[in-house]
Amino acid sequence: MILASGSPRRLELLRQMGFSPVVRPANIDETPRPGESPTELVLRLARQKALACEKDLPDGLRGQVVVAADTTVWIDGLELGKPRDDKDARAMLVRLSGRTHHVSTGVCVLAAERESSFVETSSVTFFELSPEQIDAYVQSGEPRDKAGAYGIQGRGRLLVSGIEGDYFNIVGLPVARLARELDALLGVGPGSGASVVCGALRGEPCQDR
């Protein structure tokens, strides 16, 4: 498998599924288009990353499954990317305080000259955050490279009062749906011994499937 992303979180999630991906991030223009919704954006970027990665693969890696993903945090139709600075991070956290926002991940899988693309969206609700709590979190430095200025897998978990949907989608990769999309794309039934889902549940490494 080829992972067209430099995200250490996505890499770890795939390893937990039994894969040993080759990491080859794709550099593309991620500028949103006018009028493009957050879900349209992440789906387009995931597809562009996958196609760009596949195009640049050396001969020794061609034919491998390519997985690309892009995740965004959004509220009131507004995408919240990575904060520009600590002031911007505080503003994002103030906006999210006491409210429910959404995390959408676009995923594109290329295998055997076929493609599967989808978007998974989860909802996250924050506690009401005091100015002191926001300042403490910003001072930790964790928000600086996180979309929406928080990481649910880190200290940011203390901000969250509840979630609806796939937790791992919020981390950056909806692995349960990805496994099923891989089975469908490769024409493997749920009862087959070669099933990605069954193999991952048994704890088998991917080369045994």
Nearest Cα neighbor of 202 from 168, 177, 179 is 179
DSSP state, 127?
P
Q: Are 166 and 122 within 8 A, CB to CB? A: yes
Annotated catalytic residue within 70, 85, 86, 208: 70
Nearest Cα neighbor of 119 from 68, 53, 154 is 68
Question: Catalytic annotation on 86?
Answer: no
- At 108 the three-state DSSP class reads strand
Site of tokens 């089975």: 183
**Tokens representing 154?**
């880190």
Catalytic residues: 70
